[in-house]
Structure 1
Amino acid sequence: MSNLEVFKPAFEVIQKIEEAGGEAYIVGGAVRDYLSGRPVNDIDIATSETPEQIQEIFEKVIPVGIEHGTVIVRHRSISYEVTTYRVEEGYEDYRHPDEVTFVRDINLDLARRDFTINAIAMSRSGKLIDPYNGHDAIRNQSIEAVGMPEERFEEDPLRMMRAVRFASQLSFQIEKKTEEALNQLSHLLEHISVERVAVETEKIFRGPDYALGVELLHTTGLKNHLPILKDLDIHKNVPESSLYGWHEIIAYYVSQYPQISAEDFMKLWKLSKDTKKKTEQLLLAYKRYKKDKKVNAWLVYQLDEELFPSFSRLSSALDSEEEDLNEALTRRKQQLPIQEKKELSFQASDLLQLLSDLPKGPWISEWMSKIEHHVVTGKIENDYEIIKEWVREWNPPARN
């Protein structure tokens, strides 16, 4: 286990709270990741003090969720989510507690958390408060609900997807009683918005042990409540590698199942226009790649550079023997005569000047597309005079 250096600025925040007469601990994922030897990212702090008291202690405080006891404290250019100890009652909407009560006991606060691996607090000295033996669960690589799993999942059914996500991310097994509750209550997922489910689903496919995650979606019955995926044999048709993002997930399944469309995914999962654009690019590029059996100039030219890693992962996911194409794509990109249309030596205005007797029409964009394709694929040089001569040799478009 690494030393506590990663928590040093957070401990300074805790010290200031303690000097003001309160108490505070690091909680949640940061403690879990530290104890399991994983990189620590966002650090959350739980405190006995109210948001108003925290605002008095620190200069830079952003009131992001005061009604739920949460503020953001900025310290050494790092943001810390600081939340007052609380207990929660009633979950009529299967998401938000009907009543939140601030308390001054860290143990009461830990009791409301989802899994024992997330219900550990760490003091400024590095001492653990671990009433549910979460450290043992981490050592045993086990995901166990805090208290009665049925109660935890009825409070917020999304926790069932989180259990599978942690299995995928951490390569942990779900403890027997917790898994039984998943099987029994998977139908409650219907109460959760598809947008929230989409976030967890994406993380499951991204995890290092995504195959375990996909298998659990099937065995627990959670898959039966996931749009489109419920109709596919996802446990039999598992990607050969992790998929980072919905555009990769959709491109993978649309390539495997011709009867479904990217449009269906977009609509039923309520995904963004950006995801739609990326998905369409990936599908077009992969179709061209399978047809030509190589990374050619036109494929690379039409695929946004930011999607090169996605295209490489998609190819690996669909074909286990596929090499890492990221380097080949980058190398091919550097060799292109132009990187974008505006770099053409011959533009639409030149075309109109050359064929001035023709009325404007769709032929202009058609010809410019031909010129662009010919230059990118090396059929003609990106030289004004050469392109001009090439245009002259072609039969000009008929008058309409």
Structure 2
Amino acid sequence: MTTFAAPRIDTGDTAWLLAATALVLLMTPGLALFYGGMVRTKSVLNMLMMSFVSIALVTVVWLAAGYSLAFGGDTAAGLVGGLDHLGLAGIGPESVTGTVPTLLFATFQLTFAIVTAALVSGAVADRAKFAAWLVFVPVWALLVYVPVTHWVWGPGGWILTHLGALDFAGGLPVEITSGASGLALCLVLGPRLGFKKDAMRPHNLPMVVLGAGLLWFGWFGFNAGSVLAANGLAAAVFLNTLAAGCTGLLGWLFVEQRRDGHPTTLGAASGAVAGLVAITPSCGSVSLLGSLVVGLTAGVVCSYAVGWKFKLNYDDSLDVVGVHLVGGIVGTLLIGVFAERAMTGGTEGLLYGGGLAQLGKQLVAVVVVAVYAFGVTFAIGKALDRVMGFRASEEQEHTGLDLTVHAETAYDHGVLGHGAPVAHSVLPSAQKVKPQA
């Protein structure tokens, strides 16, 4: 008679995933700084708030229903999970997923959902109503992020089980979903006042670099934590993540030097992020050499892609489309080229004798996820715009969302400088400053 041991919690794996979960959560404040430094002074706090409030909104939705719909038992041909774990019902301290507590696994996956929602905000910086954002985030998380996550990682999910496309740490549910959704909201809200006419330079590049550094730090938990174990594969994924970030940075700077004659600080930060975006889906499928190529390709391609908005006339404020959508596509497709058996346990890419089959599967997954995320997000955005208005008024946008929405400014000179009489009219009485003669 054969007996099977019940799943047991491994303390080493659990300790690593606890750390990785904290690292991924840190990515959202890092993203807030990254985005906050890229906007103008009059909307810095609003940008920070859009990221920070996403932590609270997505957490409530995920614990109530998101986790169950993403990772519960499949109920609809691989399209969505079940309702068996609403409110994390049936999951206790002794519940195990792999070798880690299921409660920890659910929390780890929650941090992915949080940062993905926050990523979308960069596409509509400077012009989205904060009240509409508070409604958009939970609705979007349930209707867009959760189903795609089930397709890719959930039990019975059609991309994982039926299609056979690979995505190790989130190229499809995180990068492509956020990028396609950002593009949809760009079209719903329209361009910022002065788009293609006024200079809209980042107001604080040191803040951008600090944010990028925190993102890079957190990305080790994002990718290597997805192994759900402290082992050799986690070490390989960790190194791949570092390598791709480096070549992404160098690739972007090479393009800037060749095209513009100046390698920029913003370019270095953006290039590193582009490389990290691209390696996210492929970090567990490619070798070190493959990761170097993936990062370099993303750095070069994304450095050109961020300029498409001026030609195609969509105002992607902080280049969510150019970096996350395009970088996610690059990394997901290149799995079909550079996947190695030693990493995947079986699947091989085109360069290693696998033929075009895997590349075809990756392409199908990319197209379906991008179209789904764009279409549903566009519908949500249009509905909210009709019901409550999604775009801030021209007066709010001109004055700045920090003062008009939050009654605060990031810097004192924002109150005392040009436009002070307008600023005083929206400040609470305790904060009003007497105009100087």
Answer yes or no: same fold by TM over 0.5: no
> TM-score normalised to the size of structure 1?
0.24
Kindly indicate which of the two structures has a greater share of residues assigned to helix.
2
Kindly indicate which of the two structures has a greater share of residues assigned to strand.
1
Return the index of the structure with the highest Cα Rg.
Answer: 1
> TM-score normalised to the size of structure 2?
0.23
* Larger RCO, structures 1/2 (Cα 8 Å, 6+ apart): 2
